[in-house]
Chain A
């Protein structure tokens, strides 16, 4: 059974800092891994998807890496902004069974 851990659980930083959010998962036989953000009272927004054959994906100030064999992924946020404040969820997926398992999330607050 896939178990996902995210560290830290919560993070509060001043605007402009570079951040690293960590995710680890127990079952490395994944199809891909996706990072989402959840804003209070809103739905989930997909940020990045990394295929199992890839090592990283970049979108704007976000960079996600994947080390499938060790069951780890990191989300790097450059030059953080208050608008980045949200909960970030790491979601490794399979293409069968309970397709994807959500991590507990990292709650990020970026202070102006």
Chain B
């Protein structure tokens, strides 16, 4: 089974530019989540999709962040315009059930996208 795929793995952009991160969840996983870890801080929830619908977007920091999940498959997270404080690692995760399910795998995380805004 292919895992959760994120790309790019690294992105360096200038302040004010736009960046789009992509996440391909495990096929069949209706639940998709975005998280981020900014430098020196804990991993924080951004939002949760169930299929193509936003179940919970309470963690989105501001309106410079836009997440979409077209057709309930892959998801994109766009930052426009990027600011210095947006630098960090953005993780995507997927699960079959919202609570991680009964399997021993629960949530599966991608390897993350390291975003550096200069």
> A residues touching B (Cβ–Cβ < 8 Å)?
31-32, 34, 36, 41-46, 48-49, 51, 57, 89, 93-105
Contacts and interface: CB of A to CB of B under 8 A. Distances in A.
B-side interface size class: 20 to 34
Interface in B71-115: 91, 93, 97-100, 102-112, 114
A102 B48 CA distance: 15
Q: For the complex of A and B, list the 4 residue pairs with the smallest distance between their C-beta atoms, beginning with the closest.
A: A95-B99, A43-B111, A31-B99, A44-B109
Given A42-B111, A43-B110, A46-B106, A31 B42 contact: no
A49 B106 contact: yes
B42 A97 contact: no
Interface of B: 6, 33, 35, 42-45, 48, 56, 58-59, 91, 93, 97-100, 102-112, 114
B26 to A, nearest CB: 12
Given A44-B91, A99-B33, A103-B42, A51 B109 contact: no
B43 A31 contact: no
Classify the interface of chain B: helix, strand, loop or mixed.
loop
A87 to B, nearest CB: 10
Contacts of B91: 43-44
Contact of B56 (A36, A93, A98): A98
A8 B10 CA distance: 31
A41 B17 CA distance: 24
A97 to B, nearest CB: 6
